[in-house]
Amino acid sequence: MPESQFNLVCDLSLIHTNAKWRYPGSWSGYAPYGDPAIYFDIARILERGKFDGAFFADVAGTPMVNGSMDETVELGVAWPRHDPIPLVAAMSTVTERLGFITTMSMTYNHPFHTARMMASLDHVTRGRVAFNAVVSGFPQEAQNYGYDTTPDHEWRYRRATEFQEVLTKLFNSVEPDAMLWDRETGRVADPSKVHRIDHEGEHFKVMGPLPTAPSPQGRPMQVMAGQSPSGIKLAATYADLQFAGGSSMKSKAAHRAKLVEACAAIGRDPKEVGILWAGQFDVVSGAAEANENARRYRESFPDRMPHVFLSQWWGLDGYPLEPDAYVHDTITAVRAAGVAPNWGYLDMAMENTTPTTTIKEYALQWLVEGSEYVGTPEQLADYMEEAFHAGGGVGGFMLAPRSGAPAGIARFVDEVIPVLQHRGLFRKDYAHTTMRDNFYKK
Ligand SMILES: Cc1cc2nc3c(=O)[nH]c(=O)nc-3n(C[C@H](O)[C@H](O)[C@H](O)COP(=O)(O)O)c2cc1C
């Protein structure tokens, strides 16, 4: 893939929640969430559009809102959520080139289990899997794994760093040419090429080796999503790709500069770490349709859904959030109360609101109006080209459909992809078989 071309991933994490399943036309003709048929169709559509991959985020907890889980469950806000791994394995069987990014928590999983699962999935998908290695920050997930609340930030990053050290040792524990499968002699593997790791650290004790044959990608690709200085340092050291928000060209450039600096500090070539800019898209014929789609999406929300969404997103752990209260006053009170929220998201909210923006208005801004990638195919191509270069020109985009699935995704593939291809911004076909090669062999 030439350097002028970017990578594209479609975010499927929440297409069944947050009222997206209810958007007019969305999910019609499909059984409810749980049945994989809609995901099989979407996988085929994405492969037709030569997408790099499909992404599934994961948080294994049921968030508390205003002291209860009732609204989360009743309104289906980021709930229910199945483990994405079985779905990824199944989707890989209806495609040949599309990649998949699934999510594993480095806060609650064990690195041995993660390495074994991902190496095995790399075989099942024939080299088309990546995992989003997250440092988890949502309290009710912590409470499912034996903690009273989310452990301290620096402790989580220390665990994640050791987690990465163990993964590296395990993925290197079976050399690429260790397997023999020699029918004549009956020798399966060369024992001089399979190594114990004998790791012992603050969090983990692992003998190794990884009991898997070397995986098709050498090791599965790794994405990281942390945005704090510790998160950026960890990504600079270990990730193949980083997720980032960056809602303006300026913030994209600033984020890339931080990543380049973190790479320089450890002597890594920053071109080895792509950024996938996260956002929400809607392909339209013009402003009138954009407004109409936004109105229809808004109308599909049950009344309190935006506010429940925001409470979860901020990780307030049951602290009451009033829809009509002002964002600035609320954040000041949340900080004074010392609840353990996602501080970065609160900073972002302070910057993007005025003293009289209400919680409800801000939640709607997040869900609907703030969608950055809304426009005609030509407008989207212009915007993405500019954003790709503003963000350092390595990586691409990880975009979620705003106007329902699978129709919104099919429209992107049928209308936007040809424009991107025509301008030389996106591949016309896959050049390789593995996800890693399709991403990085330019
Ligand atoms: C695009 C994107 C995707 C993310 N996906 C997940 C996810 O699947 N699971 C999760 O627990 N956190 C996810 N996060 C949150 C991050 O892992 C991290 O907790 C958050 O950005 C705060 O990072 P920090 O603690 O380094 O400041 C995601 C963040 C971004 C920007």
* Contact in structure between 424 and 5 (CB atoms under 8 Å): yes
The answer as to whether 426 is a domain residue is yes
**Looking at the domain assignment, is residue 304 inside a domain?**
no
pLDDT at 340: 62
> Is 71 a domain residue?
yes
194, with CB counted inside 10 A (0-12, 13-18, 19+), is: middle
Q: What is the pLDDT of residue 319?
A: 86
- Per the domain annotation, does 105 fall within a domain? yes
Position in ligand 1 atom list of the atom nearest CA 57: 8
Whole-number pLDDT of residue 275:
97
pLDDT of residue 187: 98
Task: Please list, in sequence order, all residues whose beta carbon lies within 8 angstroms of the beta carbon of residue 416, skipping any fewer than 6 positions away.
Answer: 283, 377, 380, 381
Amino acid identity at 378: E
Total tally of structural domains belonging to the chain: 1
CB 307 within 8 A of CB 438: no
CA of 178 to the centre of ligand 1 (A): 36
Give the nearest ligand 1 atom to 342 CA.
Answer: 22
pLDDT averaged per 10 residues in sequence order, the chain, 442 residues = 87 95 94 98 98 97 91 95 98 98 98 98 98 93 93 94 98 98 98 98 98 95 92 96 88 94 97 95 97 93 90 85 92 83 77 91 87 95 97 96 94 98 97 94 70
Q: Which H/E stretch holds residue 375? A: strand 373-375
Domain that holds residue 198: 7-293+372-440
Q: Residue 135 C-alpha to ligand 1 middle, in angstroms?
A: 7
Q: What is the DSSP letter of 149?
A: S
Residue 208 lies in a domain: yes
Q: Which is it for strands 221-224 and 129-134: parallel, antiparallel or unpaired?
A: parallel
DSSP 301: S
**Residue to probe by mutation, ligand 1, list 82, 152, 243, most atoms within 8 Å of CB:** 243
The number of beta carbons lying within 10 Å of the beta carbon of residue 347 is 11
Ligand 1 environment, Cβ below 6 A? 57-59, 103, 132, 134-138, 153, 225-228, 230-231, 243, 245, 278, 342, 344
Can you read off the two tokens belonging to residue 44? 């085929």
Rounded CA separation 163/145 (Å):
17
- CATH number of the structural domain spanning residue 67: 3.20.20.30
Whether the Cβ atoms of residue 55 and residue 11 lie closer than 8 Å to each other: yes
Ligand 1 atom nearest the C-alpha of 137 is 19
Calculate the CA dihedral of residues 433, 436, 437, 438 and round it to 10 degrees.
80
The residue nearest atom 18 of ligand 1, judged by CA position, is 226
Q: Is residue 299 part of a domain?
A: no
Residue nearest to atom 22 of ligand 1 (CA): 226
Count of alpha carbons within 13 Å of 58, Cβ hemisphere only?
23
Asked if residue 149 is part of any domain, the answer here is yes
Instruction: Say if 70 falls within a structural domain.
Output: yes
Contact 41, 406 (CB under 8 A): yes
